[in-house]
Amino acid sequence: MKCILSGILGLILAGSAYAELRPVEEAELSEVSGQGGIYLSGDITINEDGGPLENAYFGKCSDGGKQCGARIAYQTGENGGWFVLDDIRGRFSFQGLTLRVRHVDDGFGGDGAAFDKDVLEVGLPDQVRFDNVHYTYATSSTARPTGPGFQQTDIYSVLMHGNVTMQGNLLIFPTGNP
């Protein structure tokens, strides 16, 4: 009971502070600069047990006769066949992908001083964890396996599991003359 009372009191007292929300002027805003950047951790799972489709071709991963991975098909010519990334499934996870703006004016074997500009720096996560990541590269006559006259040639499949080392920074900046 005491707790609730003090809570209510707190609310009343806070209310009486009358702090006003004030719009920030353009000039003021221009002086604000982002400092920390962004730190991202990711855990992405694709079709671990199977996708949403269930038909003659797609199904649950527990069903050995069905494909349970995702499928991406793309075409480079109208009325032509399709390049396919098929049976995409697995889990990727990483920790410590960073994003920030950085000013480069030294280093790079002397290139930095002449460069003297801001770049967008993507800090790679050092290690990317793959858990049973699988995909098949194929060529196919139709975009969907349910299409008429579907024929597909699987060229190769890749299976990845474990840690992949990916260290360093990717620097992105505009080139050419604006």
Partner 1 sequence: MVKAALLKVSVILFALGGVLPVRAELKALDDEGLSAVEGKGLGLVFEDFVFEHTDDSSRGQIFRIEGIKSAYGASKGQDVVVAVNQLYIARSGSDYGGTLNPVNLGRLKNPFNIDVLDGDSIGVEDKAVLEIRAPQQHAPDGTRHKDMDFDGAPDPVYAEDGSPLRDVNGNIVLRDYNVASAGFDCFTGAAGGGLCDSRTASAAYENGERPDLGMKFSVKVGSHDADSLNIHAKAAVIDGTRLRVWGEGNKMVGEFHLNFYTPELMISTCEDGGASCGKALKFRNFLLELPLGNAHQPMAMNVNGSGNFVYEIKSIAQAAQDKFGVTPTQLPSALGWSGGGTRSAAQNKALWDWFNDYYQDPANRGNLYIGKLEVHDTGGVHDFGSSRIENLLIQYMKITSHDLMK
Residue 55 binds partner 1 (CB under 8 A): no
DSSP state of 20: P
**Taking the complex as a whole, how short is the minimal distance between the CB of residue 128 and partner 1, in angstroms?**
9
Nearest to 96 by CA among 41, 160, 35: 41
The residue type found at 105 is D
Query: In whole angstroms, how close is the CB of 7 to partner 1 at the nearest point?
Result: 26
Decide if residue 37 touches partner 1 (CB under 8 A).
no
136 binds partner 1 (CB under 8 A): yes
Cβ atoms of residues 54 and 45 within 8 Å: no
x-or-dash pattern for partner 1, window 139-168, by CB under 8 A?
xxx-------x-xxxxxxxxxxxxxxxxxx
Cβ of residue 54: shortest distance to partner 1, in angstroms?
24
Closest to partner 1 by CB, 99 vs 155, is: 155
| Longest Cα separation, the chain | 76
Give the number of other Cβ atoms within 10 Å of residue 127's Cβ. Answer: 15
By CB under 8 A, tell whether 171 contacts partner 1.
Answer: yes
**Distance from chain centroid for Cα 169:** 16
d(CA 58, CA 72): 14
Applying CB under 8 A, the residues found at the interface with partner 1 are 75-83, 104, 108-112, 114-115, 119, 124, 136, 138-141, 149, 151-178
